[in-house]
Amino acid sequence: MKHLTIILILLGCYPFSSFGDPKIVKLWRHDAREIEITASFASIKRFNESQSQWKIVPDLIPEASYTLSTTAAAQAGLLPCVIEIDQPLVPSFAWKGYIRPLDELIDEEMLQSVNTTAKGIYNGKVYSIGPLDVSLALFTRKSLINQIKARYPTLEHPWSRDEFMAILKAVKATGEYKYPFDIRAHDTTEWIPYAWAPMMLSWGADLIDRSNNITVDGFMNSDNAIKFGEWIQYLVQEQYIDPTPPNDEGFIRGTIAVQYGGSWALSSYYNAFKEDLAVLPVPDFGNGSFVGGGTWHWAITESCQHPEAAVELITFLMTAEETLASSSVMGIFPTNSHTADLSEDYGVQGKWRILYELSTRTARFRPATPAYSVISSSYIKAMSDIVNGMPPAIALDLAVENINAAFDRHQNYITPYR
Amino acid sequence: MTDLDNRKLLNLIRYAPVAVVFVFALAVNIIAIQDKRAQAALSIENLREELIFQQKEMIRSEVSQAYKQVILKKYQLESDLKERAKQRVYEAYGIANYVYARNIGKSRAEIEKLIRESLRPIRFFDGRGYYFILDMNGNTIMNAGNPEMEGKINWESRDEKGNYIFNGMLDIAEEHREGAFHWLFKKPGGPAEKKFDKVGYVKRFEPFDLLIGTGEYLSDFEESVKEDLLDWFSEYEYGEGGYFFVLDKNGILLAHHRHDFLGLNINTGTPLQENYFNNIMQQVRNGGGYVDYSKPLTLSGTVKLKQINYVKKIKGWDWIIGTGFSAQSFERRLKIKEEALIRANQQSLTNLIYLTIASMLLLTGSSLYVGNLIARRFEVFQKKIREDFDELDETKNKMEYMALHDDLTNLPNRVHMLKNIQKHIELSQTDNKILAVMFVDLDNFKNINDIYGHQVGDQLLGVVSRKFELLTGCSESVSRFGGDEFMFCYPNLNDTEDAKDKASLIHETLSGPIDIDGRTLTIGCSIGVSIYPDNSTDAEGLINQAYTVLYKSKSQRKGQSLFYSSSITEQIKRRAVIEHELALATKDNGFTVFYQPQSSFHNKNILSVEALARWNHPALGIISPTEFIAIAEEAGLINELGILIFRRACEDIYELSPNGKDALKLSVNISPVQLMDPELGHSLLEICAEIGIDPKRITLEVTENICIQDLDAVRLLLTQLREQGFGLSLDDFGTGYSSLNYITSLPLTELKIDRCFINRFIGNHQSDMLVRMIIGTGRLCGLVVVAEGVETSSQFKKLLNYECDICQGYYLDKPLNIGQLSKRIVKSKPVNNTDTTLPGSQ
């Protein structure tokens, strides 16, 4: 309701144009924390004030239903000119022809200046670009690490699986935490593939064969994937994690010792623990330390009547000034390395530089295939079932079966979408 | 005009098929294209309706299937529960049996305890289910859910309906060893005053005669099933993005797929928008139906997605299940399909148009080619026909010209002249003028041909024709009738004098010499003239009259003009009658023969007689030999007549004077026409032989009029006759062209001086000299000279003086019939045997 009020105010600020007034260009983005929305709308307002030809009118969609809503709108041909899109959905939207390539529209130098997580690529073409990024990390308290006498992990030497399990055991042994670790198992949304799949990758299993982006069988349900599932079940069974945490405030309230979460929660964490907050790389479970990459990008829809306006807007939002202004929100950092260097928090000496480093050095994309939505939903269900006790092999086989059916249905997504 | 029409026709042949083919092909193709477009539009509309119908039918069918499953589950609740309870009891029985078997050596109390400990912790039915054990007396051995009941006898426990609970279970175990059981029981944690339906299953454990059982509240089981169904609905998907949602009777969302959303803020447990739910309720009250629903896609609500759902109520549970599809998404997909179909149709249409154009070009081109081919062929035919027609026309004109003109002289011919005369007769009638038709015949033209040949004759005809043409003025004409005959037509004449002037001009134009290839020829003509209207009023009549009068003129005297008169007609009629009668007389031997004696000048003894035919016709009277012999010659009767007279004469004279030294000789006239008959000698000889008369007694008299042209043939015949003994006399000597020539070229035995010389030689020096010269020539040539027509004494004496041999004439004897001759001969027989031998005779 609060956000709706903001929208209405914005709409009030931008009355519908009359003859000769700037042309209306609509934009959708996901609803986020108020501070993010305010910053985002402020940028848009600055763009509108910076020129007189276009008038960007933003609209919000709750994050939980953002994909459903935009997908439904795309199918119905109701998409606005500019949309915010979650990076892994880019191939699907591109394959279906909902969004258009930006290579010929956006300045090449600008495209080259941002890191890889800031670009949504499909079939070698850039379809989306994001000025800002977030990163996953382990959040805990430095005091706790000291208390259990654990090693402070670095990017170069993250905790190993054994180290990590020993730490969880040690934390649990303190008796202060019923569930010492939280991986947000209740969030059966995009969180699971975004956050859990990199952990599974660290276990030596991937969602798909990245060499062809088609083969799932033997990857998602590989032995390592099953071991990862069994590890999740072990965490549940041994009550290292709560399979159904009531909310995301366990870490802040002190009921959770180690939080696996996103940088978007950094401000609340920092507010709770100040300098005791420890932002750590995720453990290396045997095959490297990885976090999920790719966050919200901007894309121009195929139905856009004024792509030049959209290009102008995106170019504006990608400027260092606007990026820095938006990245003043804690936990969100520029995707442009030069801009990041200019940032106080994310510069080389910045307090939260590790988040930027985690993103640029350990982030792994979700599969760049139009089948990603079914991969995502199938994987979410599989993980959810595993958490609820279903044998991992069965749950993952079911997921693979479901995904293969989708590949078969769409002829491996090679032919154009019809 | 004809050329113009032909050009139009050619253009029509060339272009009309092209135009027809083009227009026809165009029309057919336009119709085909229109039809295809209409079919395409119809197929798109049909496709749209069909797809919408299919989509709506699909969601209705899905709801119906789900509805059946839910209803089936609902009505199988108790039986399912009994079955599950049975399975659980069987599991417990197995455990108990296993414990019993493994501890067979132990005491019953120990084994029972082990069994109780084994079964007590077991929970099922989502934790609500547990086991109980009774002995057959109703003592509760174990009750995992209600331990406080253990050790108590519940034999008399009844439910609200008065049923003995445990007693009933024991009865089942007693009677059936196992079975399901239904009772009412309070629910733990539930209101104390309310008891709930409970379904259980019991089985007798024989080793210790115990009863193992379990039970489940039906309502709890029902809730459990409902939860399972809601989970199923949350996971169930069909087709491409087909999901279910479940509402309760208050519009609270009970379940929906994670990929579906009924609204931005509508999640499980939240109510649906009131107006939408009211629409749903309206449909479910009617047993189910379609509901349109617009859900906002953004927080501002400015963008909404129209959803078409099918909803149906699950009776008893107050659930509303539904599924649907996005109308706009469907429309968009439909639009894409439509566009694809339209593109395909357009492509098909384009192909059809290309095909149409190609076929039209092909048809038009081929039609043009064929049209041109036909037109060119037509032109060739036309040219050929025109040429043929021209040739035919030319031939026709030529034939017409030939039909109307003379080929040799290029003058109009008889037919043309006939028309011309007829035409001018009518004009003359109108103008009250006379018209003269002049039939011109060139005199002696035959001689020109005979002497100079036909080529010269033809050339002469040409020259004459040109001269004649010069004589014709306007409306006057000359034509050639054939041979040497020409005809003039002079209209617009005032009188006969004008006609005579014209005739004179014709004569005059031929008066001068004509030069042909260096030869100077002279030619005259005879003219027969007939006058319109005096002589006839029709062309044929005028021509016939002119012809008649021409030949009348020629027969009289050549070189004159003779106008037609009625007397000529009479003459012609007489001639025709004589010709007719002549034929009859020849057949009937109607002639008589007179014999005029030929006597010696010396002693007047009769030496010979000349047979003279006489014809005394019963009606016409005596007809002159000159007349009938001429007619006999012209009518072709002279041969027969000549033979007839010859035979008669031979018979008479032989009878009168048999052969012998002094036998009377006979002279018989032979017509020049007879000399043309090569069989003449044979016939004469045959008659002589038949009668017996010696041919040497017979002298055949021929005139100088024998054909000069056939002189060789005549000479041959005469030579044969002479060889056969006949004497040959040249009659009328001196009147012809070649008298002297005949003396030298023919085997003559006698000359007969023509009577005209005899008539005039007394007192005419020239004739006298001529007579003497003839007599002298005959003597010199050894020929007997006969003078005929001697009628006076002076003539006789003078001829005697001239030593002429034989005298014939009235001075001595007139022609005598045979009787008279017989008497005359008797009378004239010489007394003193005077020699009567003719000089020169053999």
The dihedral built from the CA positions of residue A58, A59, A63 and A66, taken in this order, carries a sign that is negative
CA distance B779 to B773: 10
**Chain A nearest C-alpha distance from B317 (Å):** 28
CA distance A144 to A152: 11
Give yes or no for a contact between B699 and B646, defined as CB atoms under 8 angstroms apart: no
Chain A residues lying within 8 Å of B331, measured CB to CB: 76
**Chain B nearest C-alpha distance from A131 (Å):** 23
Write the single-letter amino acid at B249: K
Name the β-bridge partners of B494: none
Query: Which positions 335-374 of B are in contact with A (Cβ < 8 Å)?
Result: 335-336, 340
Which pairs count as long-range contacts for B349-353, CB under 8 Å and 24+ apart, including other chains? B349/B33, B349/B36, B349/B37, B349/B40, B352/B29, B352/B32, B352/B33, B352/B36, B353/B29, B353/B33
Short-list A293, A262, A294, CA closest to A364: A293
Q: Note the pLDDT tens digit of each residue in B807-824.
A: 999 999 999 999 889 888
Q: Note the pLDDT tens digit of each residue in B772-796.
A: 888 998 888 889 999 999 999 999 9
Q: Provide, rounded to the nearest whole percent, the portion of chain B with pLDDT above 90.
A: 29
Query: Which positions 378-417 of B are in contact with A (Cβ < 8 Å)?
Result: none
Q: What is the β-pairing status of strands B253-256 and B784-788?
A: unpaired
- The pLDDT value given to residue B483: 86
pLDDT at B92 over 80: yes
Q: Note the pLDDT tens digit of each residue in B341-377.
A: 788 878 877 887 888 788 778 877 887 888 788 878 8
What's CA B452's distance to the chain center, in Å?
59
Partner A contacted by B305 (CB < 8 A): yes
Q: If you average pLDDT over residues B451-463, what whole number do you get? A: 89
Strand (E) or helix (H) holding B217 = strand B210-217
Mean pLDDT, all residues of chain B = 86
Confidence of residue B378 (pLDDT cuts 50, 70, 90): confident
**Which residue of B240, B299, B331 is in closest CB contact with A61?**
B299
CA distance B653 to B651: 6
Task: Judge: B305–A7 Cβ closer than 8 Å, yes or no.
Answer: no
Q: Note the pLDDT tens digit of each residue in B600-646.
A: 998 888 999 999 999 998 888 899 888 898 888 888 889 999 999 99
Confidence of residue B338 (pLDDT cuts 50, 70, 90): confident
Would you state the torsion angle of the CA atoms of residues B384, B386, B388, B393, taken in this order, to the nearest 10 degrees? -170
Q: Note the pLDDT tens digit of each residue in B430-441.
A: 888 899 999 999
Name the β-bridge partners of A291: A363
- The pLDDT value given to residue B291: 92
Task: Judge: A72–B326 Cβ closer than 8 Å, yes or no.
Answer: yes
Partner A contacted by B260 (CB < 8 A): yes
Give me the residue label for tokens 């010492």: A180
Give me the residue label for tokens 């001969």: B825
Q: Note the pLDDT tens digit of each residue in B27-45.
A: 887 888 788 788 878 888 8
Residue B91, sorted as left (phi over 0), alpha (psi -120 to 50) or beta, turns out to be: alpha
**Chain A nearest C-alpha distance from B299 (Å):** 5
Which pairs count as long-range contacts for B493-500, CB under 8 Å and 24+ apart, including other chains? B493/B433, B493/B434, B493/B435, B493/B436, B494/B433, B494/B434, B495/B434, B496/B434, B496/B531, B496/B534, B496/B563, B498/B434, B498/B436, B499/B434, B499/B436, B499/B438, B499/B529, B499/B531, B499/B563, B500/B561, B500/B563
pLDDT at B20 over 70: yes
> If you count residue pairs, one on A and one on B, with CB atoms under 8 Å apart, how many are there?
69
Chain B residues lying within 8 Å of A188, measured CB to CB: 258
- The pLDDT value given to residue A17: 42
CA distance A244 to B257: 19
**Chain B nearest C-alpha distance from A118 (Å):** 25
Confidence of residue B316 (pLDDT cuts 50, 70, 90): confident
Give yes or no for a contact between A35 and A3, defined as CB atoms under 8 angstroms apart: no
Chain A residues lying within 8 Å of B264, measured CB to CB: 61-62, 65, 69
pLDDT at A313 over 70: yes
Ramachandran angles phi, psi of B132, nearest 5°: -135, 155
Give me the residue label for tokens 């029709």: B538
Residue ranges with strand state E in B494-605: 514-516, 519-521, 524-532, 561-563, 592-600
Q: Calculate the alpha carbon distances from B837 to A18, A236, A355, B753 in Å.
A: 173, 198, 193, 20
Chain B residues lying within 8 Å of A2, measured CB to CB: none
Confidence of residue A371 (pLDDT cuts 50, 70, 90): very high
Give me the residue label for tokens 């036998």: B663
Give yes or no for a contact between B647 and B607, defined as CB atoms under 8 angstroms apart: no
Q: If you average pLDDT over residues B38-56, what whole number do you get? A: 84
DSSP B271-327: BPPHHHHHHHHHHHHTT-EEEEEEEESSTT--SEEEEEEEEEEETTTTEEEEEEEEH
DSSP SS3 for B174? helix
Give yes or no for a contact between B211 and B204, defined as CB atoms under 8 angstroms apart: yes
Q: Note the pLDDT tens digit of each residue in B682-725.
A: 899 999 999 999 999 999 998 876 655 567 778 888 898 999 89
Q: Note the pLDDT tens digit of each residue in A243-272.
A: 999 989 999 999 999 999 999 999 999 999
DSSP B492-523: EE-SHHHHHHHHHHHHHHTTS-EEETTEEE--
Task: Judge: B297–A11 Cβ closer than 8 Å, yes or no.
Answer: no
Residue in A with minimal Cα distance to B266: A65
- The pLDDT value given to residue B842: 36
Per-residue 3-state assignment (H helix, E strand, C coil) for B754-801: CHHHHHHCCCCHHHHHHHHHHHHHHHHHCCEEEEECCCCHHHHHHHHH
B424 Cβ neighbours under 8 A, 6+ residues apart: B435, B475, B489, B491, B492
CA distance A278 to A48: 40
Strand (E) or helix (H) holding A323 = helix A320-326
Residue in A with minimal Cα distance to B302: A59
Task: Judge: A72–B332 Cβ closer than 8 Å, yes or no.
Answer: no
pLDDT at B392 over 50: yes
Q: Which of A10, A11, A61 to mutate to test the interface with B (most CBs of B within 10 A)?
A: A61
- The pLDDT value given to residue A196: 97
**Chain B nearest C-alpha distance from A132 (Å):** 23
Residues of A with CB under 8 A from a CB of B: 3-4, 7-8, 11, 28, 31, 59-62, 65, 68-70, 72-73, 75-78, 80, 188, 377, 380-381, 409, 418
pLDDT at B18 over 80: no
Task: Judge: A77–B303 Cβ closer than 8 Å, yes or no.
Answer: no
Dmax over CA atoms of chain A, in Å, equals 71
Q: Note the pLDDT tens digit of each residue in B633-643.
A: 888 889 999 99
CA atoms within 13 A on the CB side of A234: 9
What's CA A137's distance to the chain center, in Å?
12
pLDDT at A18 over 60: no
**Which residue of B235, B298, B336 is in closest CB contact with A60?**
B298
Write the single-letter amino acid at B112: E
- The pLDDT value given to residue B836: 45
Q: Note the pLDDT tens digit of each residue in B244-276.
A: 999 999 999 999 887 777 777 778 888 888 888
Tokens of B761: 């030689």
Chain B residues lying within 8 Å of A3, measured CB to CB: 299
B104 Cβ neighbours under 8 A, 6+ residues apart: none
- The pLDDT value given to residue A162: 96
Does the model's pTM come out above 0.80?
no
Q: How wide is the angle at C-alpha B160 spanned by C-alphas B154 and B164, nearest 5°?
A: 35
CA distance B307 to B292: 6
**Which residue of B259, B298, B329 is in closest CB contact with A61?**
B298
CA distance B590 to A229: 170
Q: How wide is the angle at C-alpha B516 spanned by C-alphas B511 and B520, nearest 5°?
A: 50
Task: Judge: A77–B300 Cβ closer than 8 Å, yes or no.
Answer: no
Q: What's the residue count for chain B?
A: 842
Task: Judge: A68–B261 Cβ closer than 8 Å, yes or no.
Answer: yes
Confidence of residue B167 (pLDDT cuts 50, 70, 90): confident
B391 Cβ neighbours under 8 A, 6+ residues apart: none
Other Cβ atoms less than 10 A from the Cβ of A257: the count is 27
- The pLDDT value given to residue B156: 66
pLDDT at A14 over 60: no
Residue in A with minimal Cα distance to B239: A409
**Which residue of A3, A4, A75 is in closest CB contact with B329?**
A75
Task: Judge: A72–B305 Cβ closer than 8 Å, yes or no.
Answer: yes
Chain B residues lying within 8 Å of A409, measured CB to CB: 240
Residue in A with minimal Cα distance to B298: A61
Other Cβ atoms less than 10 A from the Cβ of B760: the count is 14
- The pLDDT value given to residue A418: 64
DSSP state of A192: I
Residue in B with minimal Cα distance to A62: B264
**Chain B nearest C-alpha distance from A174 (Å):** 31
Chain B residues lying within 8 Å of A59, measured CB to CB: 298-300, 302-303
Confidence of residue B394 (pLDDT cuts 50, 70, 90): confident
Confidence of residue B155 (pLDDT cuts 50, 70, 90): low
**Which residue of A4, A61, A75 is in closest CB contact with B332?**
A75
- The pLDDT value given to residue B627: 87
Q: Provide, rounded to the nearest whole percent, the portion of chain A with pLDDT above 90.
A: 75
- The pLDDT value given to residue B31: 85
What's CA B327's distance to the chain center, in Å?
72
Q: Which of B297, B328, B343 to mutate to test the interface with A (most CBs of A within 10 A)?
A: B297
CA distance B752 to B387: 72
Short-list B263, B774, B769, B744, CA closest to A61: B263
